[in-house]
Structure 1
């Protein structure tokens, strides 16, 4: 009896302290919920609530960037009371949040006696409001661009649509949620949104968020580069992610990169020649070596991309689009690479690699050797002073020393 009494008292105490969720007609009333955008520095979430029955004592903001696996919980500072206004500042300057990313959020408000109001979910797009944007969109893709008029925008949009169609035909993948493509008008504008990216990066896919960011200068070579390479390549990464994502599977990088390169609207003769050269020299990397991160060595990294293209092209040629679709679906079902290969092709991973190597050995050789990849000398290794003056001074010094030595030697002999 005492035990039952204790259980009853415990349940009663839980009922007394647990918040009671109330609807819009409850004592807690939402007056306003807004955001203020100061991209790329910060995003403000503002709320105003009232409660005529009991003072409001707790306000919590819960938000998540699209594609992120977990929520962010934040508690803005405020003074408890019957009428409360609160603001949470999300500081984004140092975390490279992409422009245009959708952010879903809601509020949870609790008063002193335990009444709780959970607001309806809202979505805010963290756009780069520093610039004016044009937009072309359908259900699968939305292209935002700055300058160049409708002609530029149509080229970018057509490139995205064609890239999706090509990859869907080759893999069976379909767009699950709209892909947003943000194209700045210059490299400088692009860099201002991502000051921490490597200088050589000209485009970036945020696969989880389904956002691509790059730049295309109207009338310049960068527009053709964006249309033929950047958009098809990066859109492939996003579609690949949507087609294969599972929290417990990790598709090989050669598959992801190979499909992306193959989808670029350009010739791939250089990559294939590089693979043939590696075969002749016995330098071909194994699939295991290019399944995770690519090698840090520049030559091997370049070869890794070329091999990725080659093996994906081989799979499509040998087994077809239906088998490739089955291959991708296996990852979405949570299978590891070896199990996915067996499921799609009825082979072990080693057998698939052997077939690919045999296929390469039967290709007709290229007529000429490719020149070796250039070895880049880090700029820090080359001393400079006033635009190369130091090197010039050193050269003059050695010439002068040589002449002086020659004169002295001649005088000694005479």
Structure 2
């Protein structure tokens, strides 16, 4: 069916001219709408109308979120036509993956009246997969496969990640959707179909959607323990900051998110240690807008950002980071917010952080977790042995008594 896209001005005129209900008099009429789609391809909207009157014009209205309404009109339908279809390419609508689309039909009839269907909502989900679902308190996790325990583990991890961020004033959203793809390659293919650059994980903060990937194994669960807290942090920062979220420096946004990961990747620690040893760290001012594209530099950018944010938390407390978020929410520049909150330029704060790391051999609380565990282990074993020896001595004394 041929259809024509209409400008937003004409949409407003049509909406004003066409009432949302059928004419008060005349025969009973009914619209039966439906829709199907190929993910990354096209959406096919159908409607059948049960009316003895000729349809002079059929129009499909689409609204994405709170955005503008678009209208597509079929021209010159046949005299006895009662079934209509309009096909629209996803790329034409610039429809984000996992977004919601409200749609309804409206028909101009031969007697001058019109009739409109009840608005329906389409969830543009990746329908190439049979998603399993677990839900609790506004959180829904989606995964593939028949392992229900896996779904419960993902839901528990998501809930725990939300709770751990609340002390920073980052409250859980009213609704959160987490999709776990079976592999990074499949997630990346999905993102490409949605016109989004490939990534191992991705957040759609405006939609309240987190996309991650992991194999159905113990290693896969460890990947999720890094990805889910990281991506949820981005989402909650967006919820707190609103549109000002995009004013956050990359080093703060990614650094704070990396700190929430349950087990930091060893590659980050090694990258920072090597950069410190060779005096090859990246200037923090170069990490305000974005991170490098090249892989090794990108890993170093994540490592430095996490270490620097941890330094701010250790030295100046969480209150300082909260005030930093406030400054960026009010529109301060990358370096201007630092000056306002910490009363020194970014370059000086950076030098102090690097000096602290040099004194610790390149370690801080984020990057020394593994070594701290190995240091503490002998002491714990010694204490356990001492307690066991004491118990044995007490029992021997009791036996002699």
Instruction: Provide the rounded CA distance (Å) in 2 between the counterparts of 1:32 and 1:164.
Output: 42
Of 315-324 and 19-28, more deviation after overlay is shown by 19-28
1:296 maps to which of 293, 296, 299: 293
Instruction: Provide the rounded CA distance (Å) in 1 between the counterparts of 2:237 and 2:14.
Output: 48
Larger of the two Rg values belongs to structure? 1
Equivalent residue, structure 2, for 1:158: 156
Residue 252 of structure 2 is aligned to residue 255 of structure 1: yes
Instruction: Provide the rounded CA distance (Å) in 1 between the counterparts of 2:109 and 2:52.
Output: 10
2:351 maps to which of 353, 357, 375: 357
1:346-385 alignment, distance < 5 Å: 347=343, 350=345, 352-363=346-357, 364-366=359-361
Equivalent residue, structure 1, for 2:171: 174
- Answer yes or no: is the 8 Å Cα contact 2:226–2:262 preserved in 1: yes
Residue 272 of structure 2 is aligned to residue 278 of structure 1: no
- Answer yes or no: is the 8 Å Cα contact 2:188–2:198 preserved in 1: no
- Answer yes or no: is the 8 Å Cα contact 2:62–2:101 preserved in 1: no
Deviation at 1:153, TM superposition (A): 0.7
Q: CA distance change for structure 1 residues 61 and 340 in 2, over 3 Å: closer, same or farther? A: farther
Equivalent residue, structure 2, for 1:22: 19
- What secondary structure sits across from 1:282 in the alignment? coil
Deviation at 1:209, TM superposition (A): 2.6
- Answer yes or no: is the 8 Å Cα contact 1:216–1:222 preserved in 2: yes
1:135-214 alignment, distance < 5 Å: 135-169=133-167, 171-186=168-183, 189-190=186-187, 193-194=190-191, 201-214=199-212
Equivalent residue, structure 1, for 2:72: 75
- Cα RMSD after superposing both structures: 4.0
Q: CA distance change for structure 1 residues 24 and 45 in 2, over 3 Å: closer, same or farther? A: same
Residue 99 of structure 2 is aligned to residue 101 of structure 1: yes
Deviation at 1:287, TM superposition (A): 2.3
Measured against aligned partners, the alpha-carbon deviations of 1:121-144 in whole angstroms (never above 9, x if no partner) come to 432212333433221123442101
Measured against aligned partners, the alpha-carbon deviations of 1:133-167 in whole angstroms (never above 9, x if no partner) come to 22112344210111251211112112212222223
Equivalent residue, structure 2, for 1:406: none
- Answer yes or no: is the 8 Å Cα contact 2:244–2:330 preserved in 1: no
Measured against aligned partners, the alpha-carbon deviations of 1:352-399 in whole angstroms (never above 9, x if no partner) come to 44224213302334389xxxxxxxxxxxxxxxxxxxxxxxxxxxxxxx
Measured against aligned partners, the alpha-carbon deviations of 1:284-337 in whole angstroms (never above 9, x if no partner) come to 322220111222344322221111112221222233334433433444455544
- What secondary structure sits across from 1:144 in the alignment? strand
Provide the aligned length of Structure 1 versus Structure 2. Answer: 345
Instruction: Provide the rounded CA distance (Å) in 2 between the counterparts of 1:220 and 1:357.
Output: 40
- Answer yes or no: is the 8 Å Cα contact 2:33–2:45 preserved in 1: yes
Instruction: Provide the rounded CA distance (Å) in 1 between the counterparts of 2:296 and 2:183.
Output: 30
Equivalent residue, structure 1, for 2:33: 33
Query: TM-score if structure 1 supplies the norm length?
Result: 0.68
Deviation at 1:255, TM superposition (A): 1.4
- Answer yes or no: is the 8 Å Cα contact 2:100–2:124 preserved in 1: yes
Instruction: Provide the rounded CA distance (Å) in 1 between the counterparts of 2:188 and 2:298.
Output: 25
Deviation at 1:257, TM superposition (A): 0.9
Deviation at 1:99, TM superposition (A): 5.3
Equivalent residue, structure 2, for 1:59: 59
- More helix per residue: 1 or 2? 2
Deviation at 1:243, TM superposition (A): 2.2
Deviation at 1:266, TM superposition (A): 0.5
Instruction: Provide the rounded CA distance (Å) in 2 between the counterparts of 1:17 and 1:141.
Output: 39
Deviation at 1:199, TM superposition (A): 11
Instruction: Provide the rounded CA distance (Å) in 2 between the counterparts of 1:139 and 1:62.
Output: 30
1:91 maps to which of 89, 92, 97: 89
Measured against aligned partners, the alpha-carbon deviations of 1:233-279 in whole angstroms (never above 9, x if no partner) come to 22222222222232795211111111221111104665355435434
Query: TM-score if structure 2 supplies the norm length?
Result: 0.70
- Answer yes or no: is the 8 Å Cα contact 1:35–1:45 preserved in 2: yes
Q: CA distance change for structure 1 residues 60 and 105 in 2, over 3 Å: closer, same or farther? A: closer
Q: CA distance change for structure 1 residues 230 and 327 in 2, over 3 Å: closer, same or farther? A: same
- Answer yes or no: is the 8 Å Cα contact 2:60–2:105 preserved in 1: yes
Instruction: Provide the rounded CA distance (Å) in 2 between the counterparts of 1:185 and 1:284.
Output: 35
- Answer yes or no: is the 8 Å Cα contact 1:248–1:334 preserved in 2: no
